[in-house]
Chains A and B, each alone.
Chain A
Amino acid sequence: MAEQVWWWPYAMILVAGWLATDVWRWLGVLLSGRLREDSELLLWVRSVATALVAGVISKLILFPAGALADAPVALRLAAAASGFAAFLVGGQRVVVGVLAAEVVLIGGWLLVGLG
């Protein structure tokens, strides 16, 4: 374990946090150089970024951290699915989807009796 002087956590945050994160953003800016908005290459890059964020989504639902892990997995999936369905049916308004998902989650949670 590293020596625990008072500034150590701050040094950790600067190097292992700020630098380790922002370096990717800077690289993204520099590499995007002449990438044109309608190019095939950008279409691919966007697909990769979108799939990656979608991976974050399904991880948040299937393997959540903290309190959500106490809700049964079927309930979490049902809540997300009904939220998305409500979003599609309700004129693609994000609020509609989010509210529907919460109603199903909390309603279902109360029914299951884990609250």
Chain B
Amino acid sequence: MLRGTRAAVSIPALILSAAFVGYAGLARESGLSLSETLMLTGLVWALPSIVVLTGAISAGMGMIPAAIAVALASVRLMPMTMALMPLLRVEGKTRRWHLLVSSHFVAVTAWVFAMRNLEDLPREGRLPFFFGFGASLTSFVFCVTGASYLLVERMPMMVAGALFMLTPVYFLCSLWGAARVAADKAALLAGLALGPVFFLSLPGLDLLWTGLVGGTLAYLGTRFARRGFR
């Protein structure tokens, strides 16, 4: 678990913090208080959902529509968690509630990092590692968000823009590095191409469709290449 903590002091932490520095500015402009901003960061822990809810609160949206909007933005966490769990689990030994608690840390950054690095660890060490990594990353980013909410009045445009650019490039590179089989790489390329298409044609549900269509195409295509029509 301490190794996980140590690993959290790293590039993903820097990049994610940068993204949350940007978010703190948005929260402040949206009229959220410091404690609301921090509670959102810690409890939701998935930047897209946080941004959606920030918008909903500042727009005075009701609880049910806001919950639906956030739930739609968060569906993606389910396949991500499903893909991660078999890596974390020791068959017959791992307690389910340990997994349930750790699953709170599933968000794109931690997921990408885990998919890339967990396989190098002995199976017993993976869940403690992931928990240590997730908890440290969350606490650190939590503090960064609070500090920048208080400190960041206005950032120069280019600095803010450069901060926002870190996240996609980091995701792109580490996801490619985490790919183990052809299907992973094909899915990455399919998702890149389909993302904008679905965003323009089916806004709201676009990520879900991108995942389902892109992932299925990639899976079927590479399966055919592996073993023909069987």
Query: Which chain A residues have a beta carbon within 8 Å of chain B's beta carbons?
Result: 1-2, 4, 9-32, 35-37, 40, 42-68, 70-71, 76, 79-80, 83-84, 87-88, 92, 94-95, 97-98, 101-102, 105-106, 109, 115
B192 cross-chain contacts in A, Cβ below 8 A: 54-55, 57-58
If over half of A's interface residues share one DSSP class (helix, strand or loop), that class is named, otherwise mixed; here it is helix
Closest to A97 in B: B173
Q: Which of A48, A61, A63 contacts B187 (CB 8 A)?
A: A48
B204 cross-chain contacts in A, Cβ below 8 A: none
Q: Across the interface, do A35 and B86 meet the contact criterion of CB distance under 8 Å? A: yes
In the docked arrangement, what's the CA distance between A53 and B178, Å? 13
Q: Across the interface, do A12 and B173 meet the contact criterion of CB distance under 8 Å? A: no
Q: Across the interface, do A54 and B187 meet the contact criterion of CB distance under 8 Å? A: yes
Determine how close the nearest CB of chain B comes to the CB of A107; give it in whole angstroms. 11
Determine how close the nearest CB of chain B comes to the CB of A4; give it in whole angstroms. 8
B76 is an interface residue with CB less than 8 A from chain A: yes
Q: How many residues on the B side are at the interface (Cβ–Cβ under 8 A)?
A: 105
B60 is an interface residue with CB less than 8 A from chain A: yes
B window 52-84: CB within 8 A of A: 53, 56-57, 60, 62-63, 66-71, 74-84
Q: Across the interface, do A97 and B169 meet the contact criterion of CB distance under 8 Å? A: yes
In the docked arrangement, what's the CA distance between A36 and B166, Å? 34
A62 cross-chain contacts in B, Cβ below 8 A: 195-196, 199
Q: Which of A10, A17, A83 contacts B172 (CB 8 A)?
A: A83
- Nearest first, the 7 closest Cβ-Cβ pairs linking A and B are A28-B81, A54-B191, A52-B211, A48-B215, A55-B195, A51-B214, A51-B191
Determine how close the nearest CB of chain B comes to the CB of A112; give it in whole angstroms. 11
Q: Across the interface, do B184 and A46 meet the contact criterion of CB distance under 8 Å? A: yes
Query: Which chain B residues have a beta carbon within 8 Å of chain A's beta carbons?
Result: 11, 15, 22, 25-26, 32-33, 36, 39-40, 43-46, 48-51, 53, 56-57, 60, 62-63, 66-71, 74-87, 89, 96, 99-100, 103-104, 106, 108, 111-112, 155, 157-158, 160-177, 179, 181, 183-184, 186-196, 198-199, 206-208, 210-216, 218-219, 223
A45 cross-chain contacts in B, Cβ below 8 A: 79, 82-83
Q: Across the interface, do A84 and B51 meet the contact criterion of CB distance under 8 Å? A: no
Q: Across the interface, do B199 and A59 meet the contact criterion of CB distance under 8 Å? A: yes
B211 cross-chain contacts in A, Cβ below 8 A: 48-49, 51-52, 55
Q: Across the interface, do A98 and B195 meet the contact criterion of CB distance under 8 Å? A: no
B75 cross-chain contacts in A, Cβ below 8 A: 24
Q: Across the interface, do B44 and A65 meet the contact criterion of CB distance under 8 Å? A: no
Determine how close the nearest CB of chain A comes to the CB of B208; give it in whole angstroms. 7
Q: Which of B71, B77, B183, B195 contacts A57 (CB 8 A)?
A: B195
In the docked arrangement, what's the CA distance between A80 and B192, Å? 12
Q: Across the interface, do A17 and B53 meet the contact criterion of CB distance under 8 Å? A: yes
Q: Across the interface, do A98 and B158 meet the contact criterion of CB distance under 8 Å? A: no
Closest to A104 in B: B165
Q: Across the interface, do A54 and B169 meet the contact criterion of CB distance under 8 Å? A: no
Instruction: Given A32-B81, A58-B192, answer yes or no on A115-B210 (Cβ-Cβ < 8 Å).
Output: no
Closest to B199 in A: A59
B223 cross-chain contacts in A, Cβ below 8 A: 40, 43
B169 cross-chain contacts in A, Cβ below 8 A: 79-80, 83-84, 97-98, 101-102
Q: Across the interface, do A68 and B78 meet the contact criterion of CB distance under 8 Å? A: no
Q: Across the interface, do B79 and A48 meet the contact criterion of CB distance under 8 Å? A: yes
